[in-house]
Amino acid sequence: MLTKNSIKVGDRAPEFSALAVYEQEFKRIKLSDFLGKYVILLFYPLDFTFVCPTEITAFSDSYDQIYSLDAEVLGISVDSEYCHLAWMQLDRESGGVGNLRYPLVSDLTKTISISYNVLNHEGKSLRGLFIIDREGVIQHILVNNLDVGRSVNETLRTLKAIQYVQSNPDEVCPANWQPGQSTIKNSPVQAREYFQSI
């Protein structure tokens, strides 16, 4: 069930340690192992479903882009590590995900999903996406219901915007901002330059 005190952007990401499957092996993953890098936490309902493999494989297919942005991906569901392994050992044409470029974390106890406030009343994880910065602080939260998949392109755009404003603290990114486009100076007078140019 959803917790009453939900985490929010600007909070430190709740730490966890759990078994994951990566490169066909079981491996213990701790979130704190990734301090110093950006992390995309990708919660999803269940293995062997319909929308989930489309998301899981889409993020895997885009892993080179994600890695080039000094970021890692962790997929998380309430399935066991054995279920994750079986799903990875099944090819995509048969409903599996095949070899992935990032780990799938087992949240069989549901403690991670509860701490990130994405566990629904059926005991499944909602489609929660969290971008965590190098310091372990949550910079972005997106939560979809079970039937709606997420966009890798929008995740990458948001990650780039977060990285840009963290490197340029006197600037903010407008709607639909893409790298190379104009930003807004974070002051009333200088902001006018942007609004006069559009």
* DSSP states of 97-152: --S-SS-EEE-TT-HHHHHTT-B-TTS-B-EEEEEE-TTSBEEEEEEE-TT----H
Structural element, H or E, at residue 10 = none
Note if 52 is an active site residue: yes
How distant is the alpha carbon of residue 147 from its chain centre? 17
160 SS3 class: helix
180 SS3 class: coil
Q: Are 171 and 185 in contact (CB under 8 A)?
A: yes
> CB count, 10 Å around CB of 153?
11
DSSP for residue 92: G
Q: Are 75 and 52 in contact (CB under 8 A)?
A: no
Q: Which of 13, 31, 52, 83 is catalytic?
A: 52
Q: Catalytic residue numbers?
A: 52
